[in-house]
Amino acid sequence: MPEDTPALYSLMNYAGLKLGTGYPKGGFGKVIEAMQKVCEAQGVVFHTDSPVTHFHVVDGRIDQISTKYGDSPYDGVIASADYHHVEEQLLDPSLRNYDANYWGKRVMAPSSLIFYPGVTCKIEKLEHHTLFFDADLKLHAKEIYKDPQWPTKPLFYVCCPSKSDDSVAPAGHENLFILMPLAPGIEDTEMLREEYFALIMNRPEDYTGISIKSSLDYKKATV
Chain segment 64-115, per-residue pLDDT in tens: 999 999 999 988 999 999 899 999 999 999 999 999 899 888 877 889 999 9
Q: Is 13 part of a structural domain of the chain?
A: no
41, pLDDT greater than 90: yes
Q: Identify whether residues 95 and 125 lie together within a single domain.
A: no
Domain boundary among 71, 88, 103: 103
Residues 191 and 130 in one domain: yes
Q: Indicate whether 22 belongs to any domain.
A: no
pLDDT value at residue 12: 86
The answer to whether residue 40 is domain-embedded is: no
Please indicate, yes or no, whether residues 125 and 189 belong to a single structural domain of this protein. yes
Give residue 108's pLDDT: 79
- The residue from 79, 103, 127 where one domain ends is 103
Same domain, 78 and 181: no
* Number of compact structural domains in the chain: 2
Same domain, 137 and 172: yes
Its pTM stands at 0.81
Asked whether residue 85 falls in the same domain as residue 133, the answer is: no
Are 211 and 194 in a shared domain? yes
Are residues 163 and 218 located together in one domain of the fold? Answer: yes
Provide the pLDDT for residue 196.
95
CA distance 35 to 132: 33
The answer on 132 and 92 residing in a single domain is no
Q: What is the pLDDT of residue 98?
A: 94
Note whether residue 2 is domain-resident: no
Residues 85 and 142 in one domain: no
pLDDT for res 223? 86
* Domain termination site, one of 63, 85, 103: 103
pLDDT band at 212 (very low <50, low <70, confident <90, very high): very high
53 located within any domain: yes
Residue 6 has pLDDT above 90, yes or no: no
Asked if residue 34 has pLDDT above 90, the reply is yes
Q: Is the pLDDT of residue 2 over 80?
A: no
The pLDDT mean for the chain works out to 92
| Shared domain check, 112 and 58 | no
Within-domain flag for 16: no
What would the mean pLDDT of 148-162 be, rounded to a whole number?
95
Same domain, 148 and 203: yes
Split at pLDDT 50, 70, 90, the class of 185 is confident
143 in any annotated domain: yes
Look up the domain containing 207 and give its range. 108-222
